[in-house]
Amino acid sequence: MNHIIITGGAGFIGSNLIKTLFNTRSGIRITCIDNFDPFYSADIKQLNIRDFKSNPDFHFIYSDIATTTPIELNELIEEPVNVIAHIAARAGVRPSIQDPLSYQQSNVIGTQNLLEFARQRGVKQFVFASSSSVYGLNDHLPWKEDEQLLPISPYAMTKQAGEMLGHVYSRLFGIRFLALRLFTVYGPGQRPDLAIHKFIKAILKGEPVTMYGDGSTSRDYTYVDDVVHGIINAMNYDSTSFEIINIGNNHTVSLKELVIAIEEVCSKKAMIEQLPEQQGDLQKTFADISKAKKLLGYNPGMQLKDGLKKFYDWFLQNQEILMNA
């Protein structure tokens, strides 16, 4: 892997991926493509890439993959490309219900543009960040990759579409495509719209924590470093031409349990504001990760309490930016 393109590299998962690659690999060049989507503050994204900017092997392209054509990408990126890690997406289940067309443009057309660029440039390895939300209403838990998909949000549908676009390009053009279905990623750099970030910020501000439903919904929380190692192993995978693989923790935590764990980390009780369940939200996510273990040597090791402590420490270190973002 000499030259790697990482889309969404100023975001949560993308920036952690870049950090790990630079810390563990030598002789690589990373091109980061990001448009600083206003879904959340650009100050946080600037914080995410602050330590890379002076690295001569880091190249940043400010561009929106949804509106940048493959021809324009060819002009922006001249040197050969070994791997594309496509992490960028318009995120969020609930906002996608309000604005489905923008999600279609960003997540489907954007993926199409990148795949077409890969075809034109002869890029043979393409890793796609999909989502556990594609399983939707399927209640056959834990979810295996060959389960029926019953998505219930436009966001989830766009992720399913991205997987199938990859299948087409793999079959027709010989691009090795790995779709990684990520399960509720958390850790330093986490987006401010996600529960752990929102809850800790609210507790530190002395504001109520919003709990949708009765707190019984549960998620398979997966620490970002574990996810990044799964992505890197997928970038090196060379056995088959197309795979869909769960990247989760194989353990579920209820919303009530999460709040209690966060209270312990913060050493402060949360004020709970209970609201009705939200349209598009899933009752439970739970990953079967046997395929990831077999194909990628994936073995998540972070315990929730330890991962929450790492996030909390990161938040405190950067609270001047994060509290006002």
Instruction: Give the span between the Cα atoms of 233 and 175, in whole angstroms.
Output: 17
On the 0-12 / 13-18 / 19+ scale of CB atoms within 10 A, 201 is middle
On the 0-12 / 13-18 / 19+ scale of CB atoms within 10 A, 79 is exposed
β-strands 222-223, 242-247 pairing? unpaired
Q: Which residue among the candidates 135, 155, 169, 221 is catalytic per the annotation? A: 155
pLDDT for 165 equals: 98
pLDDT per position in the chain (325 positions), as tens? 699 999 999 999 999 999 999 999 999 999 999 999 888 899 999 999 999 989 999 999 999 999 999 999 999 999 999 999 999 999 988 899 999 999 999 999 999 999 999 999 999 999 999 999 999 999 999 999 999 999 999 999 999 999 999 999 999 999 999 999 999 999 999 999 999 999 999 999 999 998 888 889 999 999 999 999 999 999 999 999 999 999 999 999 999 999 999 999 999 999 998 888 887 788 899 999 999 999 999 999 999 999 999 999 999 999 999 998 7
Structure tokens at 237: 């995978």
According to CATH, the topology of domain 3-186+221-249+287-302 is Rossmann fold (3.40.50)
Instruction: Give the span between the Cα atoms of 17 and 237, in whole angstroms.
Output: 16
β-strands 218-219, 253-254 pairing? antiparallel
In Å, how far are 2, 209, 267 from 78, measured between CA atoms?
14, 48, 52
In Å, how far are 43, 106, 122, 250 from 15, measured between CA atoms?
14, 19, 25, 24
pLDDT for 1 equals: 60
Closest CA to 184 of 142, 138, 224, 140: 224
Closest CA to 111 of 132, 130, 97, 98: 130
**Where do runs of H (alpha helix) occur along 181-223?**
195-205
Instruction: Give the span between the Cα atoms of 111 and 166, in whole angstroms.
Output: 9
β-strands 3-7, 83-86 pairing? parallel
pTM of the model: 0.96
Q: What is the dihedral of CA 271, 38, 12, 127, to 10 degrees?
A: 140
The answer to whether 302 and 263 have CB atoms below 8 angstroms apart is: no
pLDDT for 229 equals: 98
**Where do runs of H (alpha helix) occur along 84-124?**
93-98, 100-103, 110-121
Instruction: Give the span between the Cα atoms of 119 and 142, in whole angstroms.
Output: 35
Residue by residue, DSSP assigns 297-325 as: -------HHHHHHHHHHHHHHTHHHHTT-
Give yes or no: 155 in active site: yes
| Unique residue bearing structure tokens 């990247």 | 247
